[in-house]
């Protein structure tokens, strides 16, 4: 991409796990985007006009196409360019990985939200929701018994698609999380949090306002 070429615009929020995984996929695969950091309590009108759901992440391509789901951003980015072979796991298939990521959203994230934000729901027992979410985590721990990552010896699509949510769950009560009998999961999550890839996508950016100079992400995109 030449400097004069229009870039996709990514509306993001640093701490959102959905946005984290979108940034991880874009950092690994490209292309370089114009990142616009959104403060959820003060959403800019340009973002609201772009995102049908008013949620981050949301990416607008130069042709006007809007990709409003983080998983779809991951799929788009890695289909376009995949130098790390995130779609080609050591074991299993790309379809297996997408299915596990979708199960994370269906069987885990709902309970995670009801655990983390129990006070926002009527008649919700946060600890009961924590136990329901833990079923999925114990399954991940079992997958990690013989490998460093979910589908082999190196990170792949499923790892970056799921780890941000496990991190969010763990940090609700990190002492409790680290006391559980899922040593492989703890090892995997600790490695994710300590990785250069995670650190690189967690840089802090100021709130975006119309007219601000463009913030390019990643600073050094992978080659096409």
The CATH number that applies at residue 154 is 1.20.1050.10
Residues 124 and 76 occupy one common structural domain: no
CA 204 to chain centre: 16
**pLDDT value of position 166:** 98
Residues 46 and 133 occupy one common structural domain: no
Residues 20 and 72 occupy one common structural domain: yes
**pLDDT value of position 107:** 86
Residue 224 lies in a domain: no
Residue 99 lies in a domain: yes
pTM of the model: 0.94
Full domain range(s) for residue 14 = 9-84+199-217
Helix (H) or strand (E) segment spanning residue 66: strand 66-67
Task: Kindly tell me the number of DSSP H helices and DSSP E strands found in the chain.
Answer: 10, 5
Output DSSP code: residue 149: B
Residue whose pair of structure tokens reads 């391509």 in the numeric block: 61
Residues 177 and 112 occupy one common structural domain: yes
Residues 159 and 106 occupy one common structural domain: yes
Residue 165 lies in a domain: yes
Joined together, the tokens standing for residue 93 give 């298939």
Residues 187 and 211 occupy one common structural domain: no
Residues 123 and 181 occupy one common structural domain: yes
Residues 180 and 210 occupy one common structural domain: no
CB proximity list for 18: less than 8 A, separation 6 or greater: 55, 56, 57, 70, 164
Residue 1 lies in a domain: no
Residue 20 lies in a domain: yes
**pLDDT value of position 51:** 95
Total domains present in the chain: 2
**pLDDT value of position 39:** 95
Residue 171 lies in a domain: yes
SS3 20: helix
**pLDDT value of position 223:** 58
CB proximity list for 167: less than 8 A, separation 6 or greater: 17, 189, 192, 193
Encode the chain (224 residues) as per-residue pLDDT tens digits.
455 578 999 999 999 999 999 999 999 997 899 999 999 999 999 999 999 999 999 999 999 999 999 999 999 999 999 999 999 999 999 999 999 999 999 989 999 999 999 888 788 899 999 999 999 999 999 999 999 999 999 999 999 999 999 999 999 999 999 999 999 999 999 999 999 999 999 999 999 999 999 999 998 777 54
Residue 4 lies in a domain: no
Residues 101 and 190 occupy one common structural domain: yes
Output DSSP code: residue 217: E
Residues 188 and 203 occupy one common structural domain: no
Residues 163 and 113 occupy one common structural domain: yes
Residue 89 lies in a domain: no
The domain that holds 72 is classified in CATH as 3.40.30.10
CA separation for the pair 76, 119 (Å, rounded):
36
Residues 174 and 117 occupy one common structural domain: yes
């Amino acid at each position: 991409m030449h400097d004069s070429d229009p870039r996709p615009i990514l509306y993001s929020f640093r701490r959102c796990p959905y946005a984290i995984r979108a940034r991880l996929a874009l950092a690994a695969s490209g292309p370089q985007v114009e990142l616009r950091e959104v403060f959820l309590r003060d959403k800019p009108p340009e973002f609201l006009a772009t995102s049908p759901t008013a949620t981050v992440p949301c990416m607008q391509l130069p042709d006007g196409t809007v990709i409003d789901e983080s998983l779809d951003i991951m799929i788009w980015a890695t289909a376009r360019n995949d130098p790390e072979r995130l779609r080609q796991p050591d074991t299993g298939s790309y379809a297996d990985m997408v299915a596990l990521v979708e199960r994370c959203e269906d069987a885990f994230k709902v309970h995670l939200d009801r655990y983390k934000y129990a006070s926002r729901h009527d008649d919700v027992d946060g600890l009961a929701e924590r136990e329901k979410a833990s079923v999925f985590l114990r399954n991940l721990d079992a997958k990690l018994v013989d490998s460093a990552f979910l589908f082999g010896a190196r990170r792949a699509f499923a790892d970056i698609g799921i780890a941000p949510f496990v991190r969010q769950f763990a940090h609700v009560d990190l002492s409790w999380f680290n006391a559980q009998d899922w040593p492989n999961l703890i090892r995997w999550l600790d490695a994710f949090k300590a990785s250069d890839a995670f650190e690189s996508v967690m840089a802090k950016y100021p709130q975006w306002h119309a007219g601000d100079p463009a913030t390019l992400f990643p600073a050094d995109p992978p080659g096409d």
